[in-house]
Chains A and B, each alone.
Chain A
Amino acid sequence: MKFLPLIWAMLWRSRARTWLTFLSIVVAFFLFGLLQAVHASFTAGVRSALDDVLIVTYRQGTIRPLPAAYLSRLTAMKGVAAVAAIAFLPGWYQDPKNPLVAIAIDITSGASDRRVIVAPEEVKAFRELRTGALAGRDAAEKYGWKIGDKIPLHSPIPRKDGAKHWEFDLVGFLDYDETVAGARPSSNFILVNFDYFDAAVQFPGWVMWYRVRIADPQQAAAIGQAIDREFLNSAFATRTQPEREFQAGFLRQFGDIGVMVRAILAAVFFTLVLIAGNAMMQAFRERIPELAVLKTVGFTDRQAGALAVGESLLLCLAAAAIGLGAAWLSVFPLRRSLDQLLAMTLPSTTLAAGIAIALVLAVVAAAVPAWKATRLEVAAALGAK
């Protein structure tokens, strides 16, 4: 600890270069944090998928709904614990610029999403009011909703009378349980009662997909095949996938663009780290005579090396912490402005990985010159330029 002032003094030997190195590292880690946040948000659905949930869609994807009558047939199948029918009511809130989707589901079915948390009294209120709605935290925060608010939704899907204006009563809120979900998927939606939706819509009797909860996750493949066989020869053949695969398939639609963007950002991070690392090494090389002075006044090789590494650690860790912190702070506004596109989250593993990379960078940048310095004869090092 007593060497801290010395390290501090060494750090500011070349003020301009230290600042520039510091800023490059800050920027590199800021970018690293954002890149990981984008990645985490893209894959949140896949990572938080439940193993005992199967998704049953129309054979050729969700472009066509399934008959609502499949509910009872699915429920009766062997190994199936519970089934929930899901329908979507896409639209916008107040302005076409504010897209909002209502997800119609029977939350008492036992197959609704267990990652979602709703207060028990709000569940009760939701069940008791046909036009009730539960708002996702992202949507509620964005529009400042409170319980009792009327939520108008303009949708291309018409009601019985042909009107495209829907209205729901807000009775509660929902959020994702991050300990179960492992991430925070976007909650820019509202939940509404499936029974009410089906009764009110112009073309009733259609379901976007079924969530099937099975008793034994080991049986997922067998049950999936049994379900698809059951409906194979009907007008609406099905396709049953584990939730994880279903989410991954959705992600794949974005295709190569995500891979490209990640590759490019990785190249940027690499270049910035290379530049900063080179500047630090150069700074140490120039200072070999000074290390020799330290050795002349009685520092051991090890102590002199430790001073160099300490300085490097201080610089890298402080810069990385600030860069990651800035990324962490900017995730919240980004999450709000990109709500339809990405549910930005910065997982703690990213922060840990970032700090680990900073450690490696610090040690590598300081170790090579420090090691060279220890091998030099003091007299030679003193004269080195």
Chain B
Amino acid sequence: MHSIIGISAMSLSALPQRWGASLVVVIGMAGVVAVMISVLAMAQGLERTFANAGRADRVIVLRADDNSGMSSAITREQVPTVLAAPGFARDRDGKPLATVQKFMTSVLPDRKTGAESNILLRGVGDKAWSVWPEVRIIEGRRFAYGKRELIVGRAAQEQFRGLDVGADVEMVNGPWTVVGVFATGGSVLESELWGDAEMVMAGYSISGQFSSVVGLLESDAAFQTLKAALTGTPTLNHTIKRETEFYAEQAGGLARLVRTLGYVVAAIMALGALFAAVNTLYAAVKVRALEIATLRAIGFGALPVVTSVLLESLVLCLAGAVLGSALAYGFFNGYTISTLNAASFSQVAFAFHVSLGLVVQGILWSCAIGLLGGLLPALRAARLPVAEALRAS
């Protein structure tokens, strides 16, 4: 054991002499880990932003043949039937905690570039504040019903120009006034503008139909009750979906794409890093040939030599992983970007989320690559013909 520690310490202390090649291993490994963590953090951030918007006890009433929610529709006549269905939670007056909603998109200039992008305006009814208790006003006040007033999500305000409280915003159906800013704890809702559903409908909707109804369930079992009641009503062609499921579907495609990209790219880079490690350690064994042969000649076994090579490989790769994780965390944790949510055809902002799990994953990858990369050179070191190596110089 002493000999293992001693020889490993000796080989590691000689590392600075071979810094050029060793640095390539560290940089290569840092690249692998940084890229993998950042891409996966992007996928994770995207999923979290959507997942945060959904609650398992909140359901959306959608037209049965629409699975995205944007082209769903419900007529004014159908709404009372839906609201009267059993299963919704009720307030003290016995009114269902459910509301119609109407979606509309508009364009606004980006705060940084001035380029116009789509933004989602969600019109909601008067029970909205109970249906979405997580909506907190952080500046200004709630919008008033019957007026063209808006509250803007925190992320939307950061992304777009001209959404300050008191400002007038030109929307599809005329000017609206911003009266407040809201936060929901980092969900996709924060990329939206909210106003009175009736006012959103006015002067906009050609068909005169709302988009959907959202409501809270009174209990988990109520999901089946409500679903059966709605699908069993002949005047409706609607069904319900839990929000958790609804938002997971919206995030799913893009997050999957980004995550696959992350793994594919990390795997390709890992091959490169593995090669760099193998190459560097072969060279290191070559340089240390005399030293190794001397050690073997004076009686050290193969194990300490093998261990010292493997350890050198591990140390280099771990250093790379730590550097890579630090880079990914420093540059990207909490970094907010936006993209098009294809389901609502509007911008959604989300923050990268570098979790501890991702860092651990990166370090595990680097250990695997380090061990694998050190294996062949270590075996060569162990098999080094002692007499020949001693004679060589």
Chain A residues engaging chain B, CB cutoff 8 angstroms: 17, 20-21, 23-24, 27-28, 31, 58, 60-61, 63-64, 96, 156, 203, 249, 252-257, 260-261, 264-265, 267-268, 270-272, 274-276, 278-279, 282, 385
The A interface, classified by DSSP as helix, strand, loop or mixed, is helix
The yes or no answer to B99 lying at the interface (CB within 8 A) is no
- With contacts A253-B340, A278-B24 taken as known, whether A23 is within 8 angstroms of B271 at the C-beta atoms is yes
6 contacts between A and B (CB under 8 A): A17-B279, A61-B106, A61-B107, A272-B268, A275-B28, A385-B393
Q: Does B279 contact A20, Cβ atoms closer than 8 Å?
A: yes
What 10 new A-B contacts, CB under 8 Å, besides A63-B118, A255-B338, A271-B27? Answer: A23-B271, A64-B172, A255-B339, A257-B258, A260-B42, A268-B268, A271-B272, A272-B269, A278-B276, A279-B279
Interface size on B (CB < 8 Å)? 51
Report Cα–Cα, A24/B21, bound state, in Å: 16
Instruction: Name the B residues within 8 Å of A156 (CB-CB).
Output: 65-66, 71
Q: Which of chain B's residues 270-313 have a Cβ closer than 8 Å to chain A?
A: 271-273, 275-276, 278-279, 282-283
Q: Does A252 contact B117, Cβ atoms closer than 8 Å?
A: yes
Instruction: Name the A residues within 8 Å of B113 (CB-CB).
Output: 252
Nearest CB in chain B: distance from A257 CB, A: 4
Nearest CB in chain A: distance from B110 CB, A: 8
Q: Does B106 contact A60, Cβ atoms closer than 8 Å?
A: yes
Report Cα–Cα, A264/B40, bound state, in Å: 12
Instruction: Name the B residues within 8 Å of A17 (CB-CB).
Output: 279, 282
- With contacts A268-B265, A279-B276 taken as known, whether A260 is within 8 angstroms of B337 at the C-beta atoms is yes
The yes or no answer to B211 lying at the interface (CB within 8 A) is no
Q: Who on chain A is nearest to B204 by CB?
A: A64
Q: Does A254 contact B268, Cβ atoms closer than 8 Å?
A: no
Report Cα–Cα, A23/B278, bound state, in Å: 14
- With contacts A256-B337, A282-B279 taken as known, whether A63 is within 8 angstroms of B172 at the C-beta atoms is yes
Nearest CB in chain B: distance from A169 CB, A: 26
Partner of A61, one of B38, B65, B105: B105
Q: Does A271 contact B117, Cβ atoms closer than 8 Å?
A: no
Q: Does A27 contact B272, Cβ atoms closer than 8 Å?
A: yes
Q: Does B31 contact A61, Cβ atoms closer than 8 Å?
A: no
Nearest CB in chain B: distance from A224 CB, A: 15
The yes or no answer to B171 lying at the interface (CB within 8 A) is yes
Report Cα–Cα, A64/B121, bound state, in Å: 14
Q: Does B265 contact A24, Cβ atoms closer than 8 Å?
A: no
- With contacts A20-B278, A252-B117, A282-B283 taken as known, whether A274 is within 8 angstroms of B105 at the C-beta atoms is no
The yes or no answer to B152 lying at the interface (CB within 8 A) is no
Chain B 332-344 near chain A by CB (<8 Å), digits 1 or 0: 0000011110000
- With contacts A20-B275, A203-B206, A278-B276 taken as known, whether A255 is within 8 angstroms of B268 at the C-beta atoms is no
Q: Who on chain A is nearest to B286 by CB?
A: A286
Chain B 146-188 near chain A by CB (<8 Å), digits 1 or 0: 0000000000000000000000001110000000000000000
Q: Which of chain B's residues 79-122 have a Cβ closer than 8 Å to chain A?
A: 104-107, 113, 115-118
Q: Who on chain A is nearest to B110 by CB?
A: A252
Q: Does A256 contact B338, Cβ atoms closer than 8 Å?
A: yes
Q: Does B71 contact A275, Cβ atoms closer than 8 Å?
A: no
Q: Who on chain A is nearest to B253 by CB?
A: A341
Report Cα–Cα, A268/B265, bound state, in Å: 8
The yes or no answer to B39 lying at the interface (CB within 8 A) is yes
Nearest CB in chain A: distance from B376 CB, A: 8
